[in-house]
Chain A
């Protein structure tokens, strides 16, 4: 049962097992940092522009270097790039299939080493898209 897992995890953390040590690889550590930051931030969900401005503020506040609106191809611009991680923001109203196809196109680009989708759509992602690691952050949770 997952409740028990959580209990075990809580007990494990009492035993001081370092959580980050297990992640391995600098990029994965960065991904976990980003996931944690975005998941716990109350990001303005009224429109994508405001949401992006909030994410920018959070990244700046956390001292993480990023690029905004990085053009990958003629038609594709990823919202943020942090090291090799492409971060895309999508709010409810976007079409899930469309979002997925967009991520597939991003994944084909050599600059993108992994993908992070931050969204309040109820959707999931496969662990890898076009051979690149894919992660999903649910944005609604911080507002609970």
Chain B
């Protein structure tokens, strides 16, 4: 008879394994392999009954056999076999020559592309997926395709940013026959009959109790990086409950990381909380602390590779799926700034800076934040006139232009300087309805200038049909934000090469922001695209040249 080192059984509801007994040295080994068992715990130990744990337990018990009933042994072996089968299937699905065998009830004339089918099939099997396809590859359509294909995913909840709610309804209804309801309150009310319910992320906080009823079978988080602050916030806590009571979890974002790589852990808590383990483990094994409660990923490429190998994240670039979009040129322009604006705040800045280095801990923190806010705003204001002149140059050369900024003070200057161009405003100060109106005015050609907030554009579709030139009048601390902005222009439907100008100064907050942006962008890219080599940026100034030429032609023509 085989020597056994303890005993194990499935719980009566079949959701977990209970290790009732284990010899001390085997307990030590178990805790090393399964960190979710607290180090100080004594048997019984509890482990989830899922494919990954079943496989690990199966392997562990070959070295240290545990007493187990015949029926439970069969369950364990089944879990292990399913795991292997699933891995094999995932590999098959993700082969380049994969031919989708499913069918989806779409509206006439609509169809899913093979790479969208791949994501759908992976999600149907794995039940959790972070879809990181590059902006413009139709992630929303992939989600809609999934909901049509998988009947067990309905009714479905979608959680998105406020400005995306309407677009979700329009896209799903144009693509499928699913009925969509837009949630319009932050508190539960009697829901009309529908297949898909679209929440704004700001509304979910009040719906926790309803989520706990298990009404929704799947959840799709659009741009889940808005949950990167974790489950400590009201929206985070509600989404955690939503995830706990749904079968399928889908995250859609091409820029999961806005700042440092540890955000990946927070996001995965909502999509697949088993992928990266508990925070203490994650912190110990993957991160190093950089102070102020912030963490960097020690080996970003390894993290990115791991997530892909687990099929927890799927990401394709436009080139991977054979989409040939015109290249994007990112041109950094060093511009002049208004010295008067800067000197006016210098005294105040100096006082704050002294406080930030010498005062008490709490004061230091608030002084440093205040200084940061003030410096950014001052930098924005100091270059606002030049940025306006730059935008004017482009518009007068006959170009439609999006101008990105952040501070109201800066928008005011732009509006004043460019009043004759009647810019459309799409910023944090406008309601969702007014933003739509502004977008429509720009798209219909009533104005050639759209002033947009850096942070209110993620996901907006349609601008690519009207414009291929963007200007960053101010910088954001997160490289992901810049990327999101550029993807508004660089997406399917764009027919011209996109040019993005970054207007920066050599003073104020721009130089340190650019330093930090470099570090963050480098880390984020190695996680999401671990296998890209060193990229050399193409600085195609031919577009700029053409614009200047046209501009000069018009000027001479007018003179």
B522 touches A122 (CB 8 A): no
B519 touches A120 (CB 8 A): yes
Task: Return chain B residues, CB-CB under 8 Å to A139.
Answer: 518
Known contacts A10-B541, A57-B534; A45/B518 CB under 8 A: yes
Interface residues of B in 386-444 (CB under 8 A from A): 386, 389-390, 393
Q: How far is the CB of B494 from the nearest CB of chain A, in Å?
A: 20
Proximity string of chain A (45-74) to chain B, C-beta cutoff 8 Å, 1 when within and 0 when not: 110000000100110000000000000000
Proximity string of chain A (22-65) to chain B, C-beta cutoff 8 Å, 1 when within and 0 when not: 00000000000000010011111110000000100110000000
B536 touches A140 (CB 8 A): no
Closest B residue by C-beta to A93: B290
Proximity string of chain B (509-540) to chain A, C-beta cutoff 8 Å, 1 when within and 0 when not: 00110111111011101100000011111110
Contact segment of B17-25, B50-58, B333-341: B333-341
A144 touches B535 (CB 8 A): no
Closest B residue by C-beta to A141: B332
Task: Return chain A residues, CB-CB under 8 Å to B539.
Answer: 40
Q: Give the docked Cα–Cα distance between A144 and B481 (Å).
A: 11
Q: Give the docked Cα–Cα distance between A30 and B511 (Å).
A: 26
Q: Give the docked Cα–Cα distance between A25 and B300 (Å).
A: 42
Closest A residue by C-beta to B549: A14
Q: Give the docked Cα–Cα distance between A41 and B522 (Å).
A: 11
Q: Give the docked Cα–Cα distance between A143 and B479 (Å).
A: 8
Task: Return chain B residues, CB-CB under 8 Å to A122.
Answer: 511-512, 515
**Of listed A40, A41, A57, residue having the most chain B CB within 10 A:** A40
CB contact between B534 and one of A46, A54, A140 (< 8 Å): that residue:
A54
A42 touches B526 (CB 8 A): no
Task: Return chain B residues, CB-CB under 8 Å to A13.
Answer: 545
A42 touches B534 (CB 8 A): yes
Q: Does B544 contact A (CB under 8 A)?
A: yes
A11 touches B552 (CB 8 A): yes
B548 touches A10 (CB 8 A): yes
Q: Give the docked Cα–Cα distance between A46 and B304 (Å).
A: 14
Q: Give the docked Cα–Cα distance between A117 and B332 (Å).
A: 20
A143 touches B536 (CB 8 A): no
Closest A residue by C-beta to B541: A10
Closest B residue by C-beta to A53: B534
Known contacts A41-B534, A46-B296, A140-B514; A1/B519 CB under 8 A: no
B390 touches A3 (CB 8 A): yes
Q: Give the docked Cα–Cα distance between A31 and B389 (Å).
A: 33
A57 touches B518 (CB 8 A): no
Q: Does A92 contact B (CB under 8 A)?
A: yes
Q: Does B364 contact A (CB under 8 A)?
A: no
Residues of A in contact, count (CB < 8 Å) = 31
Q: Does B128 contact A (CB under 8 A)?
A: no
Closest B residue by C-beta to A38: B536
B512 touches A58 (CB 8 A): no
Known contacts A2-B336, A43-B534, A122-B515; A144/B522 CB under 8 A: no
Q: How far is the CB of B447 from the nearest CB of chain A, in Å?
A: 23
Q: Give the docked Cα–Cα distance between A1 and B522 (Å).
A: 33
Closest B residue by C-beta to A44: B522
Q: Does B139 contact A (CB under 8 A)?
A: no
B536 touches A7 (CB 8 A): no
Task: Return chain B residues, CB-CB under 8 Å to A58.
Answer: 534, 536
Q: How far is the CB of A138 from the nearest CB of chain B, in Å?
A: 7
Q: Give the docked Cα–Cα distance between A10 and B548 (Å).
A: 7
Known contacts A37-B536, A44-B526; A141/B552 CB under 8 A: no
A46 touches B536 (CB 8 A): no
**Of listed B479, B534, B552, residue having the most chain A CB within 10 A:** B534
Task: Return chain A residues, CB-CB under 8 Å to B393.
Answer: 7
Task: Return chain A residues, CB-CB under 8 Å to B545.
Answer: 10, 13-14
Closest B residue by C-beta to A138: B514
Q: Does A6 contact B (CB under 8 A)?
A: yes
A10 touches B537 (CB 8 A): no
A-B CB pair tally, cutoff 8 Å:
98
CB contact between B335 and one of A3, A10, A57, A138 (< 8 Å): that residue:
A3
Task: Return chain A residues, CB-CB under 8 Å to B308.
Answer: none
Q: How far is the CB of A131 from the nearest CB of chain B, in Å?
A: 26
CB contact between B515 and one of A1, A7, A92 (< 8 Å): that residue:
A92
Q: Does B482 contact A (CB under 8 A)?
A: yes
Task: Return chain B residues, CB-CB under 8 Å to A99.
Answer: none
Closest A residue by C-beta to B299: A46
Known contacts A3-B389, A13-B545; A120/B515 CB under 8 A: yes
Q: Does A121 contact B (CB under 8 A)?
A: yes
B544 touches A10 (CB 8 A): yes
Closest A residue by C-beta to B551: A7
Q: Give the docked Cα–Cα distance between A14 and B393 (Å).
A: 17
Interface residues of A in 111-144 (CB under 8 A from B): 120-122, 138-144
Q: Give the docked Cα–Cα distance between A126 and B187 (Å).
A: 62
Q: Does B199 contact A (CB under 8 A)?
A: no
Q: Does B502 contact A (CB under 8 A)?
A: yes
Task: Return chain A residues, CB-CB under 8 Å to B336.
Answer: 1-3
Q: How far is the CB of A79 from the nearest CB of chain B, in Å?
A: 16
A143 touches B548 (CB 8 A): no
Q: Give the docked Cα–Cα distance between A7 and B333 (Å).
A: 11
Task: Return chain B residues, CB-CB under 8 Å to A43.
Answer: 522, 534
A2 touches B330 (CB 8 A): no
**Of listed B296, B518, B549, residue having the most chain A CB within 10 A:** B518
A92 touches B537 (CB 8 A): no
Proximity string of chain A (82-115) to chain B, C-beta cutoff 8 Å, 1 when within and 0 when not: 0000000000100000000000000000000000
A7 touches B548 (CB 8 A): yes
The 6 closest A-B pairs by CB, nearest first: A140-B518, A143-B521, A45-B522, A122-B511, A143-B518, A40-B537
Show 28 residue pairs from A and B whose CB-CB distance is below 8 angstroms, ordered by the A residue. Answer: A2-B336, A3-B335, A3-B390, A7-B393, A10-B541, A11-B552, A14-B549, A40-B538, A41-B535, A41-B537, A42-B522, A42-B535, A42-B537, A43-B534, A45-B519, A46-B296, A46-B522, A46-B526, A54-B534, A121-B515, A140-B517, A141-B514, A143-B521, A144-B330, A144-B482, A144-B502, A144-B517, A144-B521
Query: Measuring CB to CB, which residues of chain B are less than 8 angstroms from any residue of chain A?
Result: 296-297, 299-300, 330, 332-336, 386, 389-390, 393, 479, 482, 502, 511-512, 514-519, 521-523, 525-526, 533-539, 541, 544-545, 548-549, 552
Since A2-B334, A3-B389, A42-B536 are in contact, a sample of 9 more A-B pairs with Cβ atoms closer than 8 Å, ordered by chain A residue number, is: A41-B534, A41-B537, A46-B522, A138-B514, A140-B515, A140-B516, A142-B518, A143-B521, A144-B517
